[in-house]
Amino acid sequence: MEKKIQNFKDSFNKEIVDFSSWNTLEGIRIRYLGRKGRIADLFKQLSALPPEKRRAPGKSLNELKDYIQSRISQESNRFAVKKEKKLPLDTSLSGIRQHTGKIHPLTKIEDEIKDIFKRMGFAVATGPEVETEYYNFDALNFPKDHPARDMQDTYYISDGVLLRTHTSPVQIRVMESQSPPVRVIIPGRVYRNEAISARSYCLFHQVEGLYVDKGVTFGNLKGTLEAFAQALFGEGVRLRFRPSYFPFTEPSAEVDISCILCQGRGCRVCKRTGWLEILGAGMVDPAVFLAVGYDPEAISGFAFGLGVDRIAMLKLGIDDIRLFFGNDLRFLEQF
């Protein structure tokens, strides 16, 4: 047995000095150390010996196995170094292009909007995209059969459960969870059953705002939105409030900015009006305060909801909302 072991070592040493490629080195490894290799075979022969005769050859055999393992890894290191030396770095070759990820243009604009409101002292809250009819409509003072529900047709998951059509339901969730003062913005995805076109998609993004305290006025709403618009679009931008209707605010307004492309002179994008609509807003309706257990005699508040996709399209000069959702690198890499 000892003799056999010594023979194996000799033949291994001969083979290992003149291998010339990874293949042959790997071949040697398999031949000696593989599951059906020579070492395994010797171990089998060893186990056939009577127990008292196994000890000494067993030890030599283990030593041989260790030796072969360490020689093979030594040689493979040496071989790797040799190979590298033969192929010096060629700096004239074009490199391997590294793809770095980027922030999605919608996320970028949403982050800018959030930063502006955070500087004004607003906290950020979020809520579920799968929402109940109660939070999406009832608690926001949309009566069951009111035509205002038609403006926000959505996807129903089951009876009374739907994909939210706006971020306003989170107003209710926030007010239910704390007492005034409340000063939050609520970014998120919303869904509507719309005819899909360059201007509308079944999925889009809003940032909701809510400010509730003693003595909050429409003047506070105007001042806050003006400061926001100037921070986002530049000092020169002007705001226009048009009377409108939302069930959860009274009075309500739709708010336009002076067209950022033509500075209000009139162009294709603003349809020659000089104005661009970017958000809805108003003073929180007393019925909403009652739904969350606030006393409408003691406090007041304003709310607004702005369309992130719309703002991103204006700021980045994008003319088709569907591009945001196409996952096309040729588009995304431009921002």
Q: Which residues bind to ligand DAH, rule: CB under 6 A?
A: 166, 168, 208, 246, 249, 280-282, 303-305
Pairing of strands 123-124, 182-191: parallel
Nearer to ligand DAH, 29 or 256 (CB): 256
Nearer to ligand DAH, 61 or 184 (CB): 184
Amino acid at 196: I
Nearer to ligand DAH, 141 or 168 (CB): 168
Q: How far is the CB of 236 from ligand DAH (least distance, A)?
A: 26
Side-chain-side CA neighbours of residue 101 (13 Å): 3
- Three-state DSSP at 213 gives strand
Nearer to ligand DAH, 16 or 308 (CB): 308
Nearer to ligand DAH, 131 or 208 (CB): 208
CA dist 25 and 298 (Å) reads 85
Q: How far is the CB of 266 from ligand DAH (least distance, A)?
A: 26
Q: How far is the CB of 174 from ligand DAH (least distance, A)?
A: 12
Nearer to ligand DAH, 72 or 278 (CB): 278
Q: How far is the CB of 321 from ligand DAH (least distance, A)?
A: 15
DSSP bridge pairs for 210: 184, 303
Nearer to ligand DAH, 29 or 166 (CB): 166
Q: How far is the CB of 328 from ligand DAH (least distance, A)?
A: 27
How far does Cα 167 stand from its chain's mean position?
19
How far does Cα 79 stand from its chain's mean position?
45
Q: What angle do CA 203, 256, 124 make, to 5 degrees?
A: 55
Nearer to ligand DAH, 188 or 282 (CB): 282
How far does Cα 282 stand from its chain's mean position?
31
Amino acid at 73: S
Side-chain-side CA neighbours of residue 252 (13 Å): 13
Q: How far is the CB of 282 from ligand DAH (least distance, A)?
A: 4
Amino acid at 201: Y
CA dist 29 and 93 (Å) reads 36
Residues near 22 by Cβ (< 8 Å), separated by ≥ 6?
A: 76, 79
CA dist 256 and 154 (Å) reads 26
Q: For residue 239, which phi and psi values (nearest 5 degrees)?
A: -115, 150
Q: How far is the CB of 154 from ligand DAH (least distance, A)?
A: 11
Nearer to ligand DAH, 109 or 185 (CB): 185
Q: How far is the CB of 114 from ligand DAH (least distance, A)?
A: 16
CA dist 66 and 72 (Å) reads 10
Q: How far is the CB of 281 from ligand DAH (least distance, A)?
A: 5
How many CB atoms within 10 Å of residue 104? 14
Are the beta carbons of 237 and 258 closer than 8 angstroms? Answer: yes
